[in-house]
């Protein structure tokens, strides 16, 4: 019954294929938003207004390299507090989150899971039977490890020891998807993730990650400095 009182909205920004998540307690109207994108701030503010929500926390999963967060502007518009993982290196955050810390909104609590490897400060969030994994674990993929202090070893342990320890039926909501998929489950990723599923070893995973040879995100030179300031100009 409690989960019926949880509003969950998955929102999409097409240029960077980023998912933003708005979660709210239907009764108290307290809400949180995860990974908001600056180009979509008008959309997000309108939805918050239409649903008569009181935004309490703005959560970023990490310091993004492919888009600029709207965290600071959202804070100015709503009075909500900005929160990131304690290893993010970000300034202007109201809260630097520790592993297993919980944040409350209405009758719900969302749990902090530090999942470094894509970046030092990568943080996932667990609530009810859902995991919001940012770029740590994607649908049939995972975040790259070749910049921003990325580490195949750290990411392997974050996924296999932390995220894969959740029940198989736990629903995964990622920070991005580039193929039109919206969610997955722990069991699906254990079985079908080509990089880290199927019981792959750390050595196998590291070889895959080190051979990706991907181009840098187009906005990295502007996005990272801005996001280290929580989007404050």
User: What does the alpha-carbon distance between residue 90 and residue 108 come to, in Å, rounded to a whole number?
Assistant: 26
User: What does the alpha-carbon distance between residue 118 and residue 152 come to, in Å, rounded to a whole number?
Assistant: 8
User: What does the alpha-carbon distance between residue 225 and residue 95 come to, in Å, rounded to a whole number?
Assistant: 19
Residues contacting residue 31 through CB under 8 Å, at least 6 positions apart: 7, 22, 23, 24, 25, 48, 51, 53, 54, 55, 56, 105
User: What does the alpha-carbon distance between residue 214 and residue 178 come to, in Å, rounded to a whole number?
Assistant: 15
pLDDT band, very low/low/confident/very high, at 183 (cuts 50, 70, 90) = very high
Phi and psi angles of residue 41, each rounded to the nearest 5 degrees, phi first: -65, -35
Per-residue pLDDT tens over the stretch 204-228: 999 999 999 999 999 999 999 999 9
CATH code 3.60.15.10 for 2-213:
yes
pLDDT value for 1: 47
Give residue limits of the domains in the chain: 2-213
**What pTM was computed for the model?**
0.97
For 20, 47, 49, 212, the CA distances from 200, given in Å and listed in that order, are 30, 42, 46, 17
Q: Say if residue 149's pLDDT is above 70.
A: yes
Per-residue pLDDT tens over the stretch 159-178: 999 999 999 999 999 999 99
């Amino acid at each position: 019954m409690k989960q019926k009182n949880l509003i969950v909205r998955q929102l999409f920004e097409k240029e960077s294929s980023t998912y933003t998540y708005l979660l709210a307690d239907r009764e108290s109207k307290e809400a949180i938003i995860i990974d908001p994108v600056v180009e979509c701030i008008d959309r997000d503010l309108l939805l918050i207004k239409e649903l008569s929500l009181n935004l309490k926390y703005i959560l970023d999963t990490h310091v993004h390299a492919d888009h600029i967060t709207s965290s600071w502007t959202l804070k100015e518009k709503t009075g909500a507090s900005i929160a990131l993982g304690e290893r993010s290196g970000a300034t202007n955050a109201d809260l630097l989150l520790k592993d297993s810390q919980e944040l409350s909104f209405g009758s719900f609590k969302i749990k902090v899971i530090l999942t470094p490897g894509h970046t030092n400060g990568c943080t996932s969030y667990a609530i009810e039977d859902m995991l919001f994994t940012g770029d740590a674990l994607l649908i049939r993929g995972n975040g790259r490890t070749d910049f921003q202090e990325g580490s195949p070893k750290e990411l392997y342990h974050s996924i296999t020891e932390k995220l894969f320890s959740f029940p198989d039926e736990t629903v995964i909501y990622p920070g991005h998807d580039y193929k039109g998929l919206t969610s997955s489950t722990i069991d699906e990723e254990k079985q079908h993730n080509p990089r880290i599923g199927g019981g792959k070893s750390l050595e196998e995973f590291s070889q895959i990650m080190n051979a990706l040879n991907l181009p840098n995100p187009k906005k990295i030179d502007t996005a990272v400095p801005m996001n280290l300031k929580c989007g404050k100009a």
